[in-house]
Structure 1
Amino acid sequence: MFRLVALLSGFIFGVGMMVSGMVNPAKVIGFLDVFGQWDPSLAFVMGGALLVFVPGYFLGVRRQKNPVLADQFCLPKTQTLDKKLIGGALLFGTGWGLAGLCPGPAITAIGSGALPIGLFVISMLVGMRLVQVFNASSNRALATES
């Protein structure tokens, strides 16, 4: 049941991104171009998402002990702003601004067969793997120092 709900949720999310234009890099870059030809339409998409999320969060996460289809809620354990978080946010924002894509819309748009989107997804996967390798080597180095 969990996998079926996850698949259906992902499908609805993907359709929503396609309908809203969030998989169109030109539309995203237009939204981010606040000092040029700004396109505010994605602000309404984000606002609509918040109108659904906020009540669900406060009615669900805040009032229920456990989610319906899982053993526990997966919430952040810390609210600390560290170098990794700030660096990751800067890298994410820079990539989003330059390419007009972030991971969710890129995975959704891969079905278009457009070469730039395919290259973006491949680069994203390579970057994710490099982070895993880097973190594993850092953890090994820390373990040998102790």
Structure 2
Amino acid sequence: MKQIFALLSGLIFGLGLIVSGMANPAKVLNFLDVFGTWDPSLAFVMGGAIAVTAPGFALLFRNRQTPLFDNTFRVPTRNDLEPKLLTGAAIFGIGWGLGGFCPGPALTALPVAATGTLIFVPFMLAGMWAARHTPNISPNANKGAA
């Protein structure tokens, strides 16, 4: 049952990306081009997503102790900023700005071979692999080690 709901959630998310225009890199790049051909429509997509999600999370956490298909809610607990996180965020932002894609829309646009996806997606996957296999470079990584 858990996998069926994961599949349905992914399909709904992908449909939302397509309908909103996030799978079109030209639309994303126009959103990022504030001083040129700026297209503010994706800000409304973001605002709509926040308007739906925020009350949903508030109701969920107030009314349930555990999720329906797991033992615990998996909510981030860390609040520190480390070099690895900041470096990853910078690389993500640069890639998004250059390619016009972030991971979800890139995978959504892949089946239709949208411009650039056949180059972007393999490099994105290589970056994900490298991130998993890069040693922790945090200055706190060796604290407590004798």
Query: TM-score, length-normalised on structure 2?
Result: 0.89
Q: Distance in 2 between matches of 1:38 and 1:136?
A: 38
Corresponding position of 1:10: 10
Aligned to 1:119: 119
- 1:73 matched residue in structure 2: 73
1:61 touches 1:67 (CA, 8 Å); kept in 2? no
Q: Distance in 1 between the 2:14 and 2:135 partners? A: 30
Aligned residue for 2:77, secondary structure, equals coil
Q: Indicate the percent of aligned positions where both proteins have the same amino acid.
A: 51
Aligned residue in 2 for 1:31: 31
Distance in 2, matches of 1:115 and 1:45, equals 22
Mind listing any 5+ residue stretches in structure 2 that lack a counterpart?
none
- Counterpart CA distance in 2 for 1:17 and 1:84 is 28
Q: State how far apart, in whole Å, the 1-side matches of 2:137 and 2:84 are.
A: 16
Gaps of 5+ in 1: none
Q: Check if 1:82 corresponds to 2:82.
A: yes
Q: Which amino acid aligns with 1:41?
A: S
What letter corresponds to residue 4 of structure 1 in structure 2?
A: I
Measured in 2, the distance between the counterparts of 1:34 and 1:5 equals 38
Rounded to whole Å, the distance in 2 between the matches of 1:134 and 1:82 is: 14
Alpha-carbon separation, structure 2, partners of 1:99 and 1:3:
31
- What TM-score does the superposition give when structure 1 sets the normalisation length? 0.89
CA contact (8 A) 2:32 2:97 kept: yes
Separation of aligned partners in 2, 1:96 and 1:137: 24
Runs of 4+ aligned structure 1 residues displaced above 6 Å come to none
Structure with a larger share of its residues in helix: 1
